[in-house]
Each structure stands twice: as C-alpha cells, then as structure tokens.
Structure 1
C-alpha cells in the first residue's frame, strides 16, 4: 500500500472519529490531508469506499491476531475464543473503529453487508466449535446477538462517560449468556430472526467479489518474492516466499490447509528479517483472503 493512501486512510479515520462518518465530507479529508481531489479519487471511488477500506484493513488485522492466538497454548477452546474476541477489541482506536462500522451498518449508511457476513460467519463457526453442533442452526443468530451486546456495552459506556470496559472480563460474561440463549433456542426449536435474514446469513455469495483483489495481492507477492530472491536472506526464507506465491497462484484449486501451514512458517521466519514490515502486511492480507474464500465456499 502506498504511503499516500495510508496517510489518507489515517486522516479520514481521525475525522470520522471526531466528527462522525455522516458529518465528515470529502473536502474535509482533502483539507486535512493536503492532497488533491484527483489523488483522493485515484484511491477511493467515494467517502463510503474510503471508510470501507479503513474497516477492511482493521478486519485483516483482526484475522491476523486470531490466527496468531491459535499458536498459543490455551486450557480450552473457549478460553481461546474469549481472547480472539477481546484482544482485537482492546487495541488502540479499535473500539471506536468498530463503533463506526456497526453504527453505519445498523443505520444503513454504508453498504457493509459483505464485511458483516464474514465477521458474523467467523464467530458463528467458532460458537459451533465451542458449544457443539447442536446449536449450529442458531449460531448465526448467536453471533449477531454477541456482537450486538458488545457494541451496546461500548456505546453505553462512552455515552455515559463511564470507565472503558475491560473486554477480557466482559466477553466471558457475554458468551455465557449467549450460550444460554443458544441452548434455549435449540430446546424450543425456534429462531429469533425472520426467514429472510437467516437466508442472507446462510446463503452463498451471489458473485465472486470477495472485497479483496487477489490479482493485486499476487502481484505484490510476486514483487516481494523477486526482491527476496535477490537479497542475502537465508535459503529457507527464499523457499517460503517462493512456495507461498506458488500455492496462491493456483486459484482454481487452493489447498487452504497447506497454505495456512506455509503462511504460519512464512510469518514466523520473517519476524527477524529486514523484510519484516512488508512480510507482516502481506501475511495479514493472505489470512484475510483465505477467510473470505472459506466463507464463500
């Protein structure tokens, strides 16, 4: 990602947080960032597209954090899930960014249905893994309720100027109540949401627009690989770079389990290399792409 585009995203986010998304204009972003209108439209088609890019970037970071946490030792899958929800929410500005996202989603200000579906599908899958297949028919509703409760807790705390929630303590309590609701729904064989909403959550995507340009990602990986191959980095790093690129280039027959193993090794090996920063960004983008592919299939 170009430094100019990243600067625009950071400026826009600061303005959205200060003035709200609805009250921030493109001209305000231009004035604050000092770039021309042409430069803005080179990267974004609209203010909504700019916000979408901000949220998409944060989602990539969250997916990356969750995958990193999977490498740690936890006493239970439930304990892992708690951290997978709580830790991303505890990062700098994360709470405010998700406030922008969910507020815009509920108000219909932004067309974020695809991002919402990926986020909700991830949590519904994790709820099934933690609480069992008995609740699978109701897991999507559990995910909606869980994120909705957490959003309202954050919103209420901010509105009343009370102490910021400690998410590592709040999330387990919310999950406890979500489990009770899911068990009750299963026992009564009833849903909370209407058929149309459930269809949207469970239906396959109608097209292949995953919200991430895989061709662009492959171009960036290819360029990264060429630079690494010419560098003085170790043979293992060069092999991982080349191998990851080859696996992702086979778009028609992605071997996701193998790619995930290689991606974990790729990230681990590059932590101490001179290419750490770029490798980290590419790793986040790759994890995000794999998440989107999983939820599409």
Structure 2
C-alpha cells in the first residue's frame, strides 16, 4: 500500500469534513474528491470514522514532534517554552480547522468516534498537568490538573473574543501568558487553603490503560526496529531505550537525548519514518 495514496485520502476527507460537515460527507464524496475507487479506499480505511481518526492522529503526531523539537535541550522549568508548546496545539488546530470538525462530530451517535475524541481531549489535559509540574513548586503539584483545565478554560474563550475585536496584534502567546499569570496568582491561595477540586488521579483509570497500551506499542516498535537498522550504534541505542523504558523511573533526559541521536543516524535510511514514529510514541508516553 502507498503512503502517498493514504495521505491523498486523508486530505480529501479532511477538506470535505470542513466544507460539508462530518455527518453529511459520504464515502462516495471522499472517493470522488480523492479520485480513487471504492476498493482502493477500503484497502486503507474501513469507514469515514477511520478517516477522521487518522486526521486527528496525523495532527497529534505533528504537534508532538513540534513540541519535542521546541523543548529539546532547554530547561523544562522555562515557562516561555511551555507557553510556546501550548500555542503549537492551538495554532495547529486552527490551521487544520479541527474545532470545526469536532463541532460536527459532537452530534454523532458513534460511540467509538466520541471515545477517540474524548481520549484526545483528556490526553491534552494530562499533558498540560504534567508540564505544569515542571513549572510549579512541589507543594503546587496536587493542583496541576485543576490548573490544566482552567488554562484551557481561560485561553479558548479569550482567543475567540480576541478574534472579534479590533486589535489584530493579540497573539495566542499573549493570551496564554495572561492565563498563566492568573493561575500563578491563585496558586499560593489554593496551597494555603488546600482548595483542591480535581485530584491528580481523576483520570487514573484512563491513564493506566493508556500507559499500558503505549508501553506495549512502543516496546514492539523498538524490537521491530532492532531487526531492520543497519548500524551497530543504532542497535545499541535501541537496546538502551528498551531497557530504560522498563525501569521503574525512566530517566527522561536520557530517553530524549538518545532518541535524538537515533533519529540523526536514521536520516536518509529506508527505516527513517519508522524510527520517527517510535520516537513520537516515546515522547507521547513520557510527556516531552
């Protein structure tokens, strides 16, 4: 199967979901837009739901890549890095019109599709909460889930209001910085009053299930790569990564550094994309 054909189908479906809405777009619409046969479509996807899930996954992987590249070699406690990472997702969602697509799906009765979108939203909340732990003092860590939810709740309505106003110079980053100032001003009071709403383990069942799935997929990807890489140094890197991810407390800075070295060695190789995918899974699992 061709990656080019798969991408063409995804792009055609994406455009139609934006223009016509998810529910009113048919498989035939996608076939006509992509210029393919029904048989070709079903070689890649079982339904238009699969197309939407693929769209979300493609954008999510791009966000993970951009966030990881932005943070590489920088202090995790640098708030400006965090602000830029948040802006990446907001700007990517806007660029790909994902909010428009999500709105059309919100009326869908398809349970699997709704669960996938819910998982994506929860994943972003958990990622923000985890990153806030890098910024907050240890006594503020119990409140990071509350603050992750409030950060999203502040930024999105303000972004909408900013687009309605006359000042075109209000950037996404400006709004996120404002939201962070408000959250930090609340933190000391929350700590002193022990005013917690959502405990950190609010999504614990989802977290455990997702981590187990991610670890299983990641381990399989790394094992498969060991069979195809050409250089001994690459095999050494993969062996190290396999061992490190199974430790009780994997050293994130080493995983990130070794993964970057592995990616560099794989540039131009036939398995470059597979290495990139494995690193993306690692970044997702360990919240780079």
In the alignment, the residues of structure 2 paired with residue 48 and residue 212 of structure 1 have an alpha-carbon distance, to the nearest angstrom, of 24
Mapping of 1:24-103 within 5 angstroms? 24-71=25-72, 73=74, 77-91=78-92, 94-100=94-100, 103=103
Mapping of 1:174-193 within 5 angstroms? 174-192=179-197
Q: Is the 8 A contact 2:151 2:183 kept in 1?
A: yes
In the alignment, the residues of structure 2 paired with residue 252 and residue 76 of structure 1 have an alpha-carbon distance, to the nearest angstrom, of 23
Q: 1:261 Cα deviation (Å)?
A: 2.1
RMSD: 3.9
Could you say which residue in structure 2 is the equivalent of 1:234?
Answer: none
Measured at CA, do residues 293 and 80 of structure 1 come closer, stay the same or move farther in structure 2, by a change above 3 Å? closer
**Between 27-36 and 71-80, the greater mean CA deviation after superposition:** 71-80
Mapping of 1:116-131 within 5 angstroms? 116-131=121-136
In the alignment, the residues of structure 2 paired with residue 101 and residue 256 of structure 1 have an alpha-carbon distance, to the nearest angstrom, of 38
1:267 aligns with 2:259: no
Mapping of 1:1-297 within 5 angstroms? 2-71=3-72, 73=74, 77-91=78-92, 94-100=94-100, 103=103, 110-111=114-115, 112-156=117-161, 163=168, 166-192=171-197, 200-203=202-205, 204-206=207-209, 208-210=212-214, 213-214=217-218, 217-218=221-222, 221=225, 225=229, 229=230, 238-247=231-240, 253=246, 257=252, 258-269=254-265, 273-275=267-269, 279=272, 281-294=273-286
Q: Is the 8 A contact 1:104 1:110 kept in 2?
A: no
Q: 1:159 Cα deviation (Å)?
A: 7.2
Could you list the runs of 5+ residues in structure 2 that have no partner in the other structure? none
Measured at CA, do residues 128 and 245 of structure 1 come closer, stay the same or move farther in structure 2, by a change above 3 Å? closer
Q: Is the 8 A contact 2:22 2:101 kept in 1?
A: no
In the alignment, the residues of structure 2 paired with residue 164 and residue 49 of structure 1 have an alpha-carbon distance, to the nearest angstrom, of 38
Q: 1:26 Cα deviation (Å)?
A: 2.8
Query: What's the TM-score, normalizing by structure 1?
Result: 0.73
Deviations 1:173-207 (A, max 9, x none): 122223334444434333445x8xx7542334347
Q: 1:119 Cα deviation (Å)?
A: 1.9
Could you say which residue in structure 2 is the equivalent of 1:233?
Answer: none
- SS of the counterpart of 1:261? helix
Could you list the runs of 5+ residues in structure 1 that have no partner in the other structure? 230-237
Q: 1:124 Cα deviation (Å)?
A: 0.4
Measured at CA, do residues 214 and 74 of structure 1 come closer, stay the same or move farther in structure 2, by a change above 3 Å? closer
Q: Is the 8 A contact 2:17 2:101 kept in 1?
A: no
